[in-house]
Chains A and B, each alone.
Chain A
Amino acid sequence: QVQLRESGPGLVKPSQTLSLSCTVSGGSINGPEYYWNWIRQSPGKGLEWIGYIYYNGNSYYNSSLKSRASISLGTSTTQFSLKLRSVTVADTAVYYCARFSPAYYFDYWGPGLLVTVSS
Protein backbone atom coordinates (compact mmCIF):
# COMPACT_ATOMS: atom_id res chain seq x y z
CA GLN A 1 0.00 0.00 0.00
CA VAL A 2 1.43 3.33 -1.08
CA GLN A 3 1.56 6.05 1.54
CA LEU A 4 2.76 9.64 1.33
CA ARG A 5 3.66 11.94 4.17
CA GLU A 6 4.60 15.59 4.21
CA SER A 7 7.24 16.95 6.55
CA GLY A 8 8.79 20.31 7.29
CA PRO A 9 8.40 23.36 9.51
CA GLY A 10 4.92 24.40 10.49
CA LEU A 11 5.85 28.05 10.83
CA VAL A 12 7.69 30.22 8.33
CA LYS A 13 8.41 33.93 8.53
CA PRO A 14 7.28 36.31 5.77
CA SER A 15 9.79 36.77 2.93
CA GLN A 16 11.52 33.48 3.77
CA THR A 17 11.49 30.21 1.82
CA LEU A 18 9.03 27.45 2.67
CA SER A 19 10.67 24.03 2.31
CA LEU A 20 8.70 20.78 2.51
CA SER A 21 9.47 17.15 1.78
CA CYS A 22 7.22 14.27 0.83
CA THR A 23 8.23 10.74 1.72
CA VAL A 24 6.70 7.90 -0.25
CA SER A 25 6.46 4.46 1.29
CA GLY A 26 5.27 1.27 -0.35
CA GLY A 27 6.53 2.46 -3.70
CA SER A 28 9.15 4.42 -5.57
CA ILE A 29 9.03 7.69 -7.47
CA ASN A 30 11.63 6.31 -9.86
CA GLY A 31 9.28 5.20 -12.62
CA PRO A 32 7.44 6.67 -15.61
CA GLU A 33 3.90 5.86 -14.58
CA TYR A 34 3.19 8.67 -12.13
CA TYR A 35 3.51 12.39 -11.57
CA TRP A 36 4.41 13.57 -8.06
CA ASN A 37 2.51 16.66 -6.98
CA TRP A 38 2.15 19.41 -4.44
CA ILE A 39 -1.30 20.86 -3.76
CA ARG A 40 -2.32 23.36 -1.13
CA GLN A 41 -5.49 24.52 0.56
CA SER A 42 -5.75 27.84 2.35
CA PRO A 43 -7.92 27.81 5.50
CA GLY A 44 -11.56 27.52 4.51
CA LYS A 45 -10.71 27.66 0.80
CA GLY A 46 -10.48 25.32 -2.13
CA LEU A 47 -7.68 23.19 -3.52
CA GLU A 48 -4.86 24.79 -5.49
CA TRP A 49 -2.48 22.73 -7.60
CA ILE A 50 1.09 23.95 -7.17
CA GLY A 51 2.98 21.70 -9.56
CA TYR A 52 4.41 18.28 -10.21
CA ILE A 53 7.66 16.53 -10.95
CA TYR A 54 8.24 13.54 -13.14
CA TYR A 55 10.72 10.73 -12.43
CA ASN A 56 13.20 12.20 -14.93
CA GLY A 57 13.26 15.53 -13.11
CA ASN A 58 10.97 17.46 -15.45
CA SER A 59 8.65 19.72 -13.50
CA TYR A 60 5.57 21.80 -14.28
CA TYR A 61 3.88 24.51 -12.28
CA ASN A 62 0.72 26.48 -11.81
CA SER A 63 1.39 29.70 -13.70
CA SER A 64 0.34 31.76 -10.67
CA LEU A 65 3.16 30.24 -8.58
CA LYS A 66 5.71 29.42 -11.24
CA SER A 67 8.04 32.28 -10.38
CA ARG A 68 8.30 31.27 -6.71
CA ALA A 69 7.84 27.48 -6.63
CA SER A 70 10.40 24.78 -7.24
CA ILE A 71 9.83 21.03 -7.02
CA SER A 72 12.76 18.65 -6.99
CA LEU A 73 13.53 14.97 -6.58
CA GLY A 74 15.15 13.87 -3.36
CA THR A 75 18.46 12.09 -2.99
CA SER A 76 16.56 8.85 -2.47
CA THR A 77 13.94 7.30 -4.75
CA THR A 78 11.30 7.84 -2.11
CA GLN A 79 11.35 11.60 -1.62
CA PHE A 80 10.54 14.79 -3.47
CA SER A 81 10.47 18.34 -2.22
CA LEU A 82 8.84 21.74 -2.58
CA LYS A 83 10.42 25.14 -2.13
CA LEU A 84 8.29 28.27 -2.20
CA ARG A 85 10.23 31.51 -2.09
CA SER A 86 9.30 34.91 -0.69
CA VAL A 87 6.27 33.70 1.22
CA THR A 88 3.55 35.99 2.57
CA VAL A 89 0.62 35.37 4.88
CA ALA A 90 -1.37 34.41 1.77
CA ASP A 91 0.77 31.27 1.53
CA THR A 92 -0.59 29.98 4.83
CA ALA A 93 -2.24 26.69 3.94
CA VAL A 94 -2.38 22.95 4.38
CA TYR A 95 0.13 21.53 1.92
CA TYR A 96 -0.51 18.11 0.45
CA CYS A 97 1.71 15.88 -1.60
CA ALA A 98 -0.12 13.50 -3.90
CA ARG A 99 0.48 10.94 -6.64
CA PHE A 100 -1.15 11.48 -10.02
CA SER A 101 -1.97 8.24 -11.78
CA PRO A 102 -1.97 7.24 -15.47
CA ALA A 103 -5.79 7.33 -15.25
CA TYR A 104 -5.60 11.10 -14.77
CA TYR A 105 -6.53 11.38 -11.13
CA PHE A 106 -4.81 11.69 -7.75
CA ASP A 107 -4.91 8.21 -6.29
CA TYR A 108 -2.85 8.72 -3.12
CA TRP A 109 -2.56 11.77 -0.89
CA GLY A 110 -0.56 12.61 2.18
CA PRO A 111 -2.49 13.64 5.29
CA GLY A 112 -1.49 17.26 4.75
CA LEU A 113 0.72 19.63 6.72
CA LEU A 114 -0.41 23.03 7.96
CA VAL A 115 2.17 25.71 7.27
CA THR A 116 1.56 29.11 8.80
CA VAL A 117 3.35 32.20 7.55
CA SER A 118 3.71 34.65 10.39
CA SER A 119 6.32 36.81 12.00
Chain B
Amino acid sequence: EIVLTQFPDTLSVSPGGSATLSCRASQWIASSYLVWYQQKPGQAPRLVMYSTSNRAIGIPDRFSGSGSGTQFTLTISRLEPEDLAVYYCQQYGTSSLSFGGGTKVEIE
Protein backbone atom coordinates (compact mmCIF):
# COMPACT_ATOMS: atom_id res chain seq x y z
CA GLU B 1 0.00 0.00 0.00
CA ILE B 2 1.12 3.51 -0.77
CA VAL B 3 2.02 5.70 2.20
CA LEU B 4 1.69 9.46 1.87
CA THR B 5 3.89 11.67 4.04
CA GLN B 6 2.98 15.31 4.38
CA PHE B 7 5.30 18.04 5.59
CA PRO B 8 5.55 20.20 7.45
CA ASP B 9 3.09 19.19 10.16
CA THR B 10 2.29 22.85 10.81
CA LEU B 11 2.90 25.88 8.64
CA SER B 12 2.75 29.37 10.09
CA VAL B 13 2.23 32.02 7.46
CA SER B 14 1.93 35.78 7.62
CA PRO B 15 -1.34 37.25 6.38
CA GLY B 16 -1.09 37.75 2.64
CA GLY B 17 1.85 35.40 2.46
CA SER B 18 2.26 32.08 0.66
CA ALA B 19 2.10 28.52 1.96
CA THR B 20 3.75 25.55 0.28
CA LEU B 21 2.50 22.16 1.41
CA SER B 22 4.28 18.98 0.41
CA CYS B 23 3.07 15.42 -0.04
CA ARG B 24 5.51 12.60 -0.70
CA ALA B 25 4.42 9.13 -1.78
CA SER B 26 6.21 5.88 -0.99
CA GLN B 27 5.64 4.74 -4.59
CA TRP B 28 5.00 6.36 -7.93
CA ILE B 29 1.47 7.77 -8.33
CA ALA B 30 -0.24 8.78 -11.53
CA SER B 31 -1.02 12.48 -11.44
CA SER B 32 -4.70 11.74 -12.01
CA TYR B 33 -4.84 9.95 -8.67
CA LEU B 34 -3.50 12.68 -6.36
CA VAL B 35 -6.01 14.92 -4.60
CA TRP B 36 -6.01 17.61 -1.89
CA TYR B 37 -8.71 18.36 0.71
CA GLN B 38 -9.22 21.18 3.17
CA GLN B 39 -10.72 20.45 6.56
CA LYS B 40 -11.89 22.99 9.10
CA PRO B 41 -12.76 22.10 12.71
CA GLY B 42 -16.01 20.22 13.06
CA GLN B 43 -16.47 19.85 9.31
CA ALA B 44 -16.04 17.09 6.78
CA PRO B 45 -13.16 17.55 4.34
CA ARG B 46 -13.74 19.67 1.27
CA LEU B 47 -12.16 18.98 -2.10
CA VAL B 48 -9.58 21.59 -3.08
CA MET B 49 -7.55 20.10 -5.91
CA TYR B 50 -7.94 16.96 -8.03
CA SER B 51 -5.70 15.27 -10.57
CA THR B 52 -2.77 17.09 -8.96
CA SER B 53 -3.44 20.50 -10.45
CA ASN B 54 -7.15 20.99 -11.14
CA ARG B 55 -9.00 23.30 -8.80
CA ALA B 56 -12.35 22.12 -7.52
CA ILE B 57 -15.47 24.19 -8.06
CA GLY B 58 -15.47 27.27 -5.86
CA ILE B 59 -11.76 27.15 -5.03
CA PRO B 60 -10.04 30.48 -5.76
CA ASP B 61 -7.09 30.70 -8.11
CA ARG B 62 -4.87 31.49 -5.11
CA PHE B 63 -4.67 27.70 -4.81
CA SER B 64 -2.43 25.80 -7.17
CA GLY B 65 -1.18 22.23 -7.33
CA SER B 66 1.82 20.65 -8.95
CA GLY B 67 4.01 17.61 -8.89
CA SER B 68 4.50 14.19 -10.36
CA GLY B 69 5.75 10.75 -9.52
CA THR B 70 6.27 10.75 -5.75
CA GLN B 71 6.42 14.48 -4.96
CA PHE B 72 3.39 16.73 -4.97
CA THR B 73 2.78 20.29 -3.78
CA LEU B 74 -0.18 22.46 -2.89
CA THR B 75 0.55 26.18 -2.88
CA ILE B 76 -1.69 28.81 -1.37
CA SER B 77 -0.85 32.38 -2.36
CA ARG B 78 -2.06 35.60 -0.76
CA LEU B 79 -3.25 33.68 2.28
CA GLU B 80 -6.57 34.77 3.71
CA PRO B 81 -8.05 33.98 7.14
CA GLU B 82 -10.56 31.59 5.52
CA ASP B 83 -7.64 29.41 4.36
CA LEU B 84 -6.76 28.43 7.90
CA ALA B 85 -7.37 24.70 8.03
CA VAL B 86 -5.74 21.30 7.87
CA TYR B 87 -4.93 20.11 4.37
CA TYR B 88 -4.74 16.44 3.41
CA CYS B 89 -3.43 14.79 0.30
CA GLN B 90 -5.05 11.54 -0.81
CA GLN B 91 -4.18 8.97 -3.44
CA TYR B 92 -6.09 6.27 -5.22
CA GLY B 93 -4.39 2.98 -5.93
CA THR B 94 -5.60 -0.36 -7.20
CA SER B 95 -8.39 -1.32 -4.79
CA SER B 96 -7.09 0.96 -2.04
CA LEU B 97 -6.84 4.57 -1.01
CA SER B 98 -4.82 6.45 1.57
CA PHE B 99 -4.48 9.90 3.09
CA GLY B 100 -1.46 11.82 4.22
CA GLY B 101 -1.18 12.87 7.84
CA GLY B 102 -2.17 16.45 7.13
CA THR B 103 -0.59 19.90 7.30
CA LYS B 104 -2.11 22.54 9.52
CA VAL B 105 -1.95 26.06 8.10
CA GLU B 106 -2.07 28.79 10.72
CA ILE B 107 -1.54 32.52 10.83
CA GLU B 108 1.85 33.61 12.12
Measuring CB to CB, which residues of chain A are less than 8 angstroms from any residue of chain B?
Answer: 37, 46-49, 52, 60, 62-63, 96, 98, 100, 103-107, 109-112
Contacts and interface: CB of A to CB of B under 8 A. Distances in A.
Nearest to B49: A105
Contacts of B101: 46
B96 A104 contact: no
A63 B99 CA distance: 14
A46 B99 CA distance: 8
A46 B23 CA distance: 14
Nearest to A54: B95
A49 B50 contact: no
B82 interface: no
Interface residues of B, number: 23
Contacts of A60: 95-96
Contacts of A104: 32-33, 35, 50-51, 92
The 3 closest A-B pairs by CB, nearest first: A109-B44, A47-B99, A105-B35
B98 to A, nearest CB: 6
Contacts of A106: 35, 37, 45, 47, 90
A103 B33 CA distance: 8
Interface of chain B, helix or strand or loop or mixed?
A: strand
A103 B44 contact: no
Given A46-B101, A112-B44, A103 B96 contact: no
Given A103-B50, A104-B32, A96 B98 contact: no
B107 interface: no
A105 B99 contact: no
Interface of B: 1, 32-33, 35, 37, 39, 44-45, 47, 50-51, 86, 88, 90, 92, 95-102
Contacts of A110: 44
A49 B51 contact: no
Nearest to B47: A105
A37 B20 CA distance: 29
A4 B12 CA distance: 34
B51 A47 contact: no
B33 A109 contact: no
Nearest to B95: A60
